[in-house]
Amino acid sequence: MPASVKTSPCLSRAIAQARTHQSLTTQKKCAVEGGNHREFWKGGTHLPPFLFPGERIADRRRDNPLGIPAFRLYSRRRMRTKPRGIARLAWIVCLALTTPIPAALGGQAFQRSEVIYGRKFGTALTLDVFRPEQPNGCSLLFMVSGGFFSSHEAINVTFLKPFLDRGYTVFAVVHGSQPKFTIPEIVQDIHRAVRYVRHEAANYGIESNKFGIIGASAGGHLSLTMATQGGPGKSDASDAVDRQSSAVQAVACFFPPTDFLNYGQPGEDAVGVGVLKDFKPAFGPRADTLEGRQELGKEISPLYYVTSNLPPTLILHGDADKLVPIQQAEAFVEKARNAGATARLVVKAGRLHGWPEIVDDLSICADWFDEHVRGLKPAK
């Protein structure tokens, strides 16, 4: 397989136009808040880059690496699309969805394509498939989620490299985003994505019982939700995809919320209030009342679904994290171990909600999947 493939200038322009169409047909002004600073960011509809403490947006113009919610995005104007361009845009998007793009990241070559795994209220739910040149038959589902906001533009191929190099077929899952969709609705998207991949396992050359899942922050929460609640589909479902299981065989994640009702300390309510008040839309109207928050908090917190059947779980978390306290990881791992499940916590001393060398820690996750998905013995 070639390391790269050239596309015609016409196709390149077409794909670029499809990706930036909304940006070119509106002036969108977004306020971006991260840490103790605030800036205005004009133009693009994709996620701004992840900001480490003290950084400014101008310092980083690359995609948000893991979908970490170190910011909030506010739309000041509703997006407008030129009617005359809709037909052409639809054709361009269709072409992009069906055009595999071989590429390499200094390791294994891979082939990338985008597919639709479901539809919701007329909106297509998509995931990107990364197929390495030498697949090992196992797969990973990468949760593209930060603050329960998901975007195709937030997929950063660099962060898939450790897994592609080891032969994993990677599925980067984009879900419906808040504020339009709430966490319970987003969770259903992830169930659907896992079921879709399992239904298509033979077509992708992967084994249906060797699925790993990974994500950070909100993506970590969704990963643990699948670990604790993934299971058989409906045997009488009219759609064959929905008859498949959404269970996964191993999890690795970064700084995930696990218990919204005891957030950092016993009794601390963070169901769209307190520390997470800025993420209120993701929790929906049920978070408006104390009774509603108590009910919703338990429903969406992975901690309350831990059993001895929990698949092997790895969590990496900074002990100085202010947005998601490390207590969230500690409590989850403790309950998992008490239930007899395999769970490990890697504490990053002095680190906040993300750290500069986080990409290096993906090898720890890859080792975890090698052991618990591929069945390889860990190196001594």
DSSP readout, 245-277? ----SEEEEES----TTSSSSTT---SSSGGGG
Residues 34 and 122 in one domain: no
Query: In terms of domains, do 215 and 351 share one?
Result: yes
8 A C-beta contact, residue 304 and residue 261: no
Non-local CB neighbours of 227 within 8 Å, separated by 6+ positions: 213, 248, 251, 302, 310, 311, 313
Q: Are residues 111 and 140 in the same domain?
A: yes
Indicate whether 243 belongs to any domain: yes
Number of domains forming the structure of the chain: 2
Locate the DSSP E strands across 72-231.
101-104, 109-120, 123-132, 139-144, 169-174, 211-216
Q: Among candidates 127, 202, 221, which has minimal Cα distance to 170?
A: 127
Final residue belonging to a domain, choices 84, 108, 139? 84
Instruction: Establish if 348 belongs to a structural domain.
Output: yes
Are 179 and 72 within one domain?
A: no
Whether residue 276 lies inside any domain: the answer is no
User: Do residue 145 and residue 41 come from a single domain?
Assistant: no
On whether residue 4 sits in a domain, the answer given is: no
Beta bridge partners of residue 173, listed in sequence order: 127, 143
Q: What is the CATH number of the domain that holds 339?
A: 3.40.50.1820
Angle between helices 183-199 and 218-229 (to 10 degrees): 60
Pair of tokens at residue 82: 């030129």
Judge if 169 and 39 occupy the same domain.
no
pLDDT 10s digit of each residue in the chain, 380 long? Answer: 444 334 444 445 444 444 443 333 333 323 333 333 222 222 233 333 333 333 333 333 333 444 444 333 323 333 333 334 433 433 333 333 333 344 545 677 899 999 999 999 888 999 999 999 999 999 999 999 999 999 999 998 989 999 999 999 999 999 999 999 999 999 999 999 999 999 999 999 999 999 999 999 999 999 999 999 999 999 999 999 999 999 999 999 999 999 999 999 999 999 999 999 999 999 999 999 999 999 999 999 999 999 999 999 999 999 999 999 999 999 999 999 999 999 999 999 999 999 999 999 999 999 999 999 999 988 76
Does the global pTM surpass 0.85?
Answer: no
The answer to whether residues 160 and 37 belong to one domain is no
> Are residues 72 and 143 located together in one domain of the fold?
no
Contact 306, 331 (CB under 8 A): no
**296 in any annotated domain:** no
Question: Is residue 326 one of the residues assigned to a domain?
Answer: yes
Task: Say yes or no: 109 and 51 in one domain.
Answer: no
- Domain end: 50, 84, 118, which one? 84
Q: Which domain holds residue 247?
A: 100-259+301-374
Same domain for 327 and 192?
A: yes
Are 238 and 361 part of one and the same domain? yes
Same domain, 47 and 161: no
Domain boundary residue, one of 24, 59, 84: 84
Does the residue 25 lie in any domain? yes
Cα(23)–Cα(27) distance, rounded to whole angstroms? 7
244 in any annotated domain: yes
